[in-house]
Chains A and B, each alone.
Chain A
């Protein structure tokens, strides 16, 4: 396909793929008040990149593995209930970020431009990445589709769901796995530091326009796609990093949706 030979369109198609997944998944991140967890997992991505370089595997794989490890560590800490949640999150977040930077600086043979990973670079999206994003994205969406109802039940009330026979722990772990996967998939487009923004901002913008969970997910997808197109277009025109451009676009939608003097939340 000709269009896939052009780096810009590759980036746009990759971005749309990420937005398609980020909408439905991002809803649960927001509903379950996990945006800081998303941040922590995202910051750990730098360690994942370092590991990817070190082991000479695909960087996405490294990012996915480390994000998942952080999520599981957090899960264990949470169940012990010895430390406050945000203290654990902060510790894991900064520990993994620091380790990532140290590892990369020690691997003198790696000539990596950190900016590229921190904020995303549309020039780096390859055809292989597209396969990953769409292949992985379809898997994530299929899994999420199956988990949708039990996840909603857990979000409503965890203990009630458990008492009613929902396998809470298993579903929470699979959900973490999905978040780790979407972070790995969107890293190249958005960059590590901003990776959770596409999970959170579009669905938050869609909240006021939606009356059911599904409408909010769909709204998040549409606003996410619009942000990607607008952001990447700007990035191409005035040569800005792709991640921040997409984020600013989505923030514009967020304000537009929230500044309208609509009725209260419906």
Chain B
């Protein structure tokens, strides 16, 4: 699995081992008169977590759809490592009660897996007890865990997650981010995720891209959070949310004991 990359000669040894999974060069897309995305250049390498944050309508989901090849850019190019295995979690999957699908059934919609494999994947994301439950009865957090298990079955090198914690309660949110971090550790896969919430996601990410039609700023979470472009986009309040971020663990015990549980 070591496809070498031509232009790594100037990088140090450890960096050279890092392989580029996905790279875009000046991607642009417009819809009629509206510029949806302009000159997006980004890189995702092995075993890193990259988070795209941005306000509503910034083009985050559109960017993911471009990267997945669901739509084509007007200009620019996308490089993907040959045969790159991607596990994808769309933003909003809603299952109508009219469709009788169990959790184990959605695992094998586009692939064939043994019940052992399915069980293990669900085990890893902590929801194996839901195996036979109808999908439409799951809570949002349970559903996202099942969907993560489903993505794991594809043995992904890159997980693409669109707002993975949206609609999940506060406790479930940080648990879910922790799980995503663990998946990276255990499977060595990279994660590219989209989020509009700031502080929680910052804690569990290596690199942040701040998107608003174009990439406003990017870098390590601490640097981005002090960047003037970032502060302009998200307002001056962000100082506060950062405090929440850095004192995150002090805060949890102030929360009421009984929370609407995720599971």
Contact = CB atoms under 8 A, between A and B. Distances in A.
B128 interface: no
Interface string B95-114: 11111111001100111000
B105 A212 contact: yes
Contact of B88 (A30, A150, A153, A160): A160
A164 B99 contact: no
Interface residues of B, number: 24
A207 B98 contact: yes
B86 interface: yes
A212 B99 CA distance: 8
Given A31-B98, A153-B110, A163 B105 contact: no
B197 to A, nearest CB: 22
A149 interface: yes
B173 to A, nearest CB: 22
B115 to A, nearest CB: 15
B99 A31 contact: yes
B231 interface: no
Interface string A200-216: 00001001001111011
Contacts of B68: 163
Contacts of B98: 30-31, 204, 207
A155 interface: yes
Interface in A203-249: 204, 207, 210-213, 215-216
A250 B110 CA distance: 34
Nearest to A162: B70
Nearest to A209: B100
Contacts of A166: 110
Contacts of A162: 70
A265 interface: yes
Contacts of A152: 101, 109
Contacts of A108: none
B80 interface: no
A211 B102 contact: yes
A210 B100 contact: yes
Interface in A79-120: none
Interface residues of A, number: 28
B248 interface: no
A159 B100 contact: no
B110 A165 contact: yes
B70 to A, nearest CB: 6
Contact of B100 (A163, A165, A215): A215
Contact of A153 (B69, B96, B109): B109
Contacts of B100: 207, 210-213, 215-216, 265-266
A157 interface: yes
A265 B105 CA distance: 17
Nearest to B132: A211
Contacts of B131: none
B93 A265 contact: no
B55 interface: no
Interface string B125-138: 00000000010100
B65 interface: yes
Nearest to B69: A163
Interface in B138-162: 154
9 contacts: A149-B109, A150-B110, A156-B93, A166-B110, A207-B98, A212-B101, A213-B105, A266-B100, A266-B134
Interface of B: 65, 68-70, 86, 88, 90, 93, 95-102, 105-106, 109-111, 134, 136, 154
Given A213-B101, A213-B105, 10 more contacts: A33-B96, A157-B90, A161-B110, A162-B70, A164-B88, A164-B111, A212-B102, A216-B100, A265-B134, A266-B134
